[in-house]
Amino acid sequence: MRLLPLLLAPSLAVAATFHVTVAGIGGEAEYEQRFGALAKDADHVLKGSGGDGRVLTLSGADATKQKLTDTLAAVAREAKQDDQFVLFLIGHGTFDGTDYKFNLKGPDITAIELAALCDRIPAGKQLIVNTTSASGGSLHALQRQNRAVVTATKSGTEKNATVFGRYWVEALRDASADTDKNEAITALEAYRYADQKTTNFYETAKRLATEHAMLEDKGAGDGARKPGLDDTGQGMLAARIPVVRLGSAQRAAADPAKRQLLAKKEQLEVQIDRLKLEKAAMPSDQYRKELAKLLLELARVQEEIDK
């Protein structure tokens, strides 16, 4: 008997993805420039990724609590259940032992307030990437079913400025982040890339690491430093959220005639991942037969996309 039934998507339409990037206040000229440049880079990468993407970026004078509230309210009005929503936070954060706050121009916004705004967005798959200092203090407030949460720090007590956000953006434009070579950089792949680059940064500089990224996508718990597609299911949702597409997948996402094929490809990849999780509970012959069937269908769909 199967432990995890194969997930079938309710439709074969490529969903729209709403990207909201926010560069908070820097406090010093160096950080103001760094945060603004990072937001600009993310905006450029996301707008060039093709498909039905809606990219909204707030920085400088626009990075206020009111503007962020209005932007997320607008996404809540436009997004549909089949869509994806990605919120990327850049800057400084604070944690007083109880409440996390994202530092903005004027009043700050708490993790609880952010969660309430995001909860009103009907998009069925959500990703919040909080790359600020003390961002680990926001994880429990932000987590929810069908939402992956990435934080640059493991807790609210890691309060130094972070470098994780720099490498998250780098992951979205580096084809090597696409480790399974399916022409989509998922949230899980971007997380692993940015986490490894962050680790390398501190080791190369011979500095004690002051940030340790976390990913939580089951809607409960403390998340994981090294999530993987294992029998716990940690990382499964993040692996199903393509943040950017590459090559033929990017071209297909931009081509209305091929979007349905791309949706079918991504659905098959989800089924393959789930089948691999079920392997231990299945007869080996049945596993090989079902895997071969899915791989054959995936190859056929990819051939149609490449035409």
- Domain residue limits, the chain: 17-247, 256-306
Query: What is this structure's pTM?
Result: 0.84
In one letter, which amino acid is 33? Q
Q: How far is CA 213 from CA 62, 133, 168, in A?
A: 27, 11, 11
Token couple for 180: 């399974």
Token couple for 280: 């231990």
Distance CA 53, CA 244 (A): 10
Are 170 and 197 within 8 A, CB to CB? yes
Q: How confident is the model at residue 229 (pLDDT cuts 50, 70, 90)?
A: low
Are 164 and 194 within 8 A, CB to CB? yes
CA 37 from chain centre, in angstroms, equals: 20
Could you count the other beta carbons within 10 Å of the beta carbon of residue 81? 11
Q: How confident is the model at residue 255 (pLDDT cuts 50, 70, 90)?
A: low
More confident residue, 9 or 74: 74
Q: What is the DSSP letter of 240?
A: T
Kindly report which listed range (2-16, 28-42, 191-205) carries the lowest average pLDDT score.
2-16
Q: How confident is the model at residue 182 (pLDDT cuts 50, 70, 90)?
A: confident
Distance CA 191, CA 124 (A): 20
Q: How far is CA 180 from CA 43, 69, 186, 277, 293, in A?
A: 25, 37, 10, 16, 19
Give mean pLDDT, residues 25-44: 95
What phi, psi does 248 have (nearest 5°)?
Answer: -65, -30
What residues form DSSP beta bridges with 244?
185
Q: How confident is the model at residue 6 (pLDDT cuts 50, 70, 90)?
A: very low
Q: Sort residue 244 into left (φ over 0), alpha (ψ -120 to 50) or beta.
A: beta
More confident residue, 189 or 293: 189
Q: What is the DSSP letter of 175?
A: G
Token couple for 178: 């696409």
Neighbouring C-alpha atoms within 13 Å toward the C-beta of 46: 26
Token couple for 32: 């103001």
- Domain formed by 17-247, architecture: 3-Layer(aba) Sandwich (3.40)
